């Protein structure tokens, strides 16, 4: 099966960015300061979409790439677990004021999302080189 970078870009990256882009749009048009421009929960959603996509694409790797596929799945599951914990902390912090350091959660979410993008780009390169063989 041929891997398409543009298809991945549209279906994964842009779909994953929808919650972030909507929040930025709302932040831009709202006249009060009640909406933050970025939220940990949207970043968590983005990361989950990225890693779910990696798992899906790994399913299409040839049988000879079993070790690579196992490594990708392990990596994705690890990140999904971290994102799940981060989501729980962010949701709890939204409900109970002062219970969670919101800035720290946001910084962790930004860091994890950045790592997810870098890993996805590396995997994207691997998928595209494998599909040419």
Q: pLDDT tens for residues 23-35?
A: 999 999 998 888 8
The better pLDDT of the pair 8, 132 is held by 8
Q: What is the pLDDT of residue 13?
A: 84
pLDDT class of 125 with cuts at 50, 70, 90: confident
Domain ranges of the chain: 5-132
> Over 90: is that where the pLDDT of 7 sits?
no
Locate all alpha helices (DSSP H) within 1-133, ordered by sequence.
5-8, 15-29, 40-58, 66-95, 102-132
The whole-number pLDDT of residue 3 equals: 60
pLDDT tens digits for range 89-119: 999 988 888 889 989 999 999 999 999 999 9
Contact residues for 93 (Cβ-Cβ < 8 A; gap 6+): 99, 100, 101, 102, 105
Flag whether pLDDT at 130 surpasses 70: no
Residue 122, burial from CB neighbour count under 10 angstroms (0-12, 13-18, 19+): exposed
**In whole angstroms, how large is the CA radius of gyration of the chain?**
17
pLDDT tens string 43-66: 999 999 999 988 888 887 777 778
pTM of the model: 0.84
Please write the tens of the pLDDT for every residue from 81-91: 999 999 999 99
Is the pLDDT confidence value at 22 over 90? Answer: yes
- The pLDDT score that the predictor gives to residue 2 is 60
């Amino acid at each position: 099966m041929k891997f398409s970078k543009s298809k991945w870009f549209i279906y994964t990256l842009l779909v994953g960015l929808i919650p972030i882009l909507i929040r930025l749009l709302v932040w831009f048009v709202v006249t009060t300061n009640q909406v933050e421009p970025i939220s940990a929960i949207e970043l968590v959603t983005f990361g989950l979409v990225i890693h779910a996509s990696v798992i899906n694409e790994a399913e299409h790797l040839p049988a000879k790439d079993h070790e690579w596929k196992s490594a990708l799945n392990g990596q994705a599951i690890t990140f999904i677990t971290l994102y799940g914990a981060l989501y729980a902390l962010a949701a709890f912090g939204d409900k109970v004021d002062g219970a969670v350091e919101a800035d720290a959660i946001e910084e962790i979410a930004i860091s994890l999302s950045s790592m997810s993008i870098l890993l996805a780009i590396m995997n994207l390169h691997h998928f595209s080189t494998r599909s040419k063989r």
